[in-house]
Structure 1
Amino acid sequence: MNEKERSRYLLKVIPWIIPLLLLIFWQIFTANGFIPSNVFPKPSDVIQAFIELMKNGELESNIGISAGRAIIGFLIGGGIGFIFGLFNGLFKGFYWFTDSSIQMLRNIPHLAVLPLVIVWFGVGETGKVFLVALGVLFPIYINTLHGIRSVDPKLIEMGRVYGLNRFALFTNIILPGALSSIFVGIRYALGVMWLTLIVAETVATNSGIGYMAMNARDFMQMNIIVLSIIIYALLGKISDLIAKLLEQLFLKWE
């Protein structure tokens, strides 16, 4: 194994050292009784809960429901945030007309409107999707706006010198120059998406991973509660990895 291959191998292994150590310490402290099982379950109990929930189809169903809510809310809120960021970055008149209102809304904690959302939409799907959309809208808006406004004016001027029209300027210079900032917004919004969904599903729902955790709480099933937390973490990590892969694909030229 040459030096380059060794470096690549280490870069793949290093991120897993801390999770592996945490798993080892978790097993040691729970197996020896340092941490009571009614406070924190053993890894084997969590694995057993995973197997049982997979067998009866409950886990697969709840993961699918939660993922569906997250994706729909992200697409709606992210789409709105991207459009407003795009228009406000490209057109000063649109910016002066809408930005102040958007910034005022942004400074309201979106989870603070949860009681109002329950009154408006009840405990159905609409309220949870609305909360997720509201949460992801602002990170994508801010970073899209920042990305467009951060494009080097000299590059835009050079494009005009070469005779590019507005559409060609946008597709060849402005959008590629803003993509890095937009992807930062997407990755941040993905974290907000799962955080919002966790709160929404544990307060007002009758299905999903959060509901599964709250239902387990009522029966003191600590293994299912911990399993739910791990699933949320894994879903968050998977969505972030997808965003990173898309970032590498679209920003390969950088």
Structure 2
Amino acid sequence: MTVRFYLREGRRLLSPVLLVAVWQVASACGLISARILPSPVQLSRTLLGLIKDGSLLTNLLVSLERVSFGFSLALIVGVTLALLSGLSRWGEDIIDAPLQILRTLPALALAPLFILWFGIGEEPKILLVFLGALFPIYLNLHKGIRNIDPKLLEVARTLGLSRAQTIRDVILPGALPDLLLGVRYAFGIAWLMLVVAEQVNAESGIGHMMMDAEDFLRTDIILVGLIVYGLLGLISDRLVRTAERWLLVWQRQGGARV
């Protein structure tokens, strides 16, 4: 890690730190009601209490498990469908239209139907995460495959590469940036879907913890849950961006950094 990297990360943290400081000062001066928006200090105490009694860790592990299953399923299915649709006209004719129709359906409205089909267990929650994450992965990878430079395909034919070699050495590396972008979007939507999924007939998870807090008017616990969701989204996004730096090292010489 270079000094420039640490300075850059420090700049990224500056605005959130200043925002929290202003929030704390406003709360201490009585400008913000503790009942409506507890101060950062109060939220820190609540967070420590939830950590000590084990409820936060227990619910966090359940939420991570749901996202892991749902997102992994979306990644496998999304990549497979995008390859079939992007590499074949027949595949596109068969696969793309039904997926575009399904994409326009409000996924959250499917929650009652999933509950009728699968009960109130883990399946509806995992399926909601799966549906939310599926389409960004599929759409971005499909676009990446279709936008491969025809000159590269011509070079592959000139070199005598087989179809399998062309897919492996030309098409997949060329579409990788679009896939990673889709993964970033998919992670963000997956966490949003989890928020809703865990507030529908859930008995555990961060969303369930927040719903229990609502019954007891514990605004501080609700805010802690929202902060945890936000941090999980930020961490997952940073992990994907780190993977981009490793997998797309050949792009470092040109283009803007993200």
Q: Tell whether the structures are fold-level matches, with TM greater than 0.5.
A: yes
Report the Cα distance in structure 2 between the residues aligned to 1:113 and 1:151, rounded to whole angstroms.
35
Structure 2-normalised TM-score? 0.93
* Mapped pair 1:76 → 2:41: no
What is the CA distance between 1:31 and its match in structure 2?
1.5
Match in the other structure for 1:243:
240
Report the Cα distance in structure 1 between the residues aligned to 2:106 and 2:244, rounded to whole angstroms.
28
Q: 1:211 aligns with which of 196, 208, 214?
A: 208
Q: Secondary structure of 1:202's match? A: coil
Q: Which amino acid aligns with 1:90?
A: L
Report the Cα distance in structure 2 between the residues aligned to 1:195 and 1:188, rounded to whole angstroms.
11
Match in the other structure for 1:176:
173
Report the Cα distance in structure 2 between the residues aligned to 1:97 and 1:40, rounded to whole angstroms.
51
Report the Cα distance in structure 1 between the residues aligned to 2:215 and 2:22, rounded to whole angstroms.
28
What do you get for the CA RMSD once the two structures are aligned? Answer: 1.3
* 1:107-146 → structure 2 map (5 Å cutoff): 107-146=104-143
* Mapped pair 1:95 → 2:92: yes
Q: Secondary structure of 1:40's match? A: coil
Q: Secondary structure of 1:203's match? A: coil
Q: Which amino acid aligns with 2:88?
A: F
* Mapped pair 1:167 → 2:169: no
- Range 237-246 or range 117-126, more displaced: 117-126
Match in the other structure for 1:149:
146
What does the per-residue CA deviation read over 1:63-89, in whole Å, with 9 as the maximum and x for residues that have no partner? Answer: 110011001000112211111011111
Gaps of 5+ in 1: none
Report the Cα distance in structure 2 between the residues aligned to 1:39 and 1:118, rounded to whole angstroms.
33
Report the Cα distance in structure 1 between the residues aligned to 2:200 and 2:178, rounded to whole angstroms.
33
Q: 2:155 aligns with which of 155, 158, 171?
A: 158
Q: 1:23 aligns with which of 15, 20, 27?
A: 20
What is the CA distance between 1:9 and its match in structure 2?
4.4
* 1:181-192 → structure 2 map (5 Å cutoff): 181-192=178-189
Match in the other structure for 2:199:
202
List structure 1 runs of 4+ shifted beyond 4 angstroms: none
Percent identity, aligned pairs only, is 41
Report the Cα distance in structure 1 between the residues aligned to 2:146 and 2:93, rounded to whole angstroms.
14
Q: Which amino acid aligns with 1:108?
A: L
Match in the other structure for 2:40:
43
Change (3 A) 1:31 1:219: same
Q: Secondary structure of 1:148's match? A: helix
Gaps of 5+ in 2: 252-258
What does the per-residue CA deviation read over 1:81-126, in whole Å, with 9 as the maximum and x for residues that have no partner? Answer: 1110111110111111221111001111111211212222222111
Report the Cα distance in structure 2 between the residues aligned to 1:240 and 1:188, rounded to whole angstroms.
9
